[in-house]
């Protein structure tokens, strides 16, 4: 067995595919049930009324209407406050 890689092999070419994360539908746009609104890793955005959280932390619509993003403050378990972003669907 050789201790070094042969001439034809390379250590390059193992780049991962892009994940296409981010906001897919923006504030004020109409949405139908099942449409993906936000693709994310972790909960940067939290689901509100008319939305649900998928297994991979994506937020999708469960009702039809118009998207509304809202920012508010939430008290954490240790009493400190943090700013959270909530995605809601308003009925049209």
Q: Is-contact 73 81, C-beta < 8 A?
A: yes
User: How much is the pLDDT for 11?
Assistant: 76
Q: Is-contact 41 57, C-beta < 8 A?
A: yes
Q: What is the average pLDDT score of the chain?
A: 93
User: How much is the pLDDT for 6?
Assistant: 66
Joined tokens for residue 72: 């508010």
pTM of the model: 0.81
**pLDDT band, very low/low/confident/very high, at 8 (cuts 50, 70, 90):** low
For tokens 């994310």, the residue is 40
Say which residue, 65 or 16, is predicted with more confidence.
Answer: 65
Give the pLDDT mean for 5-30.
86
For tokens 């008290």, the residue is 75
User: How much is the pLDDT for 5?
Assistant: 66
State the Cα–Cα distance between residues 21 and 86, nearest whole angstrom.
Answer: 17
């Amino acid at each position: 067995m050789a201790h070094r890689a042969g001439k034809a092999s390379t250590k390059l070419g193992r780049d991962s595919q892009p994940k296409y994360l981010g906001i897919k539908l923006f504030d004020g746009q109409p949405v139908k049930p099942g449409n993906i609104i936000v693709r994310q890793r972790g909960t940067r955005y939290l689901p509100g009324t008319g939305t649900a959280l998928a297994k991979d932390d994506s937020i999708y619509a469960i009702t039809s209407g118009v998207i509304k993003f809202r920012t508010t403050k939430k008290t954490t378990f240790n009493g400190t406050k943090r700013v959270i972003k909530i995605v809601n669907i308003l009925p049209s």
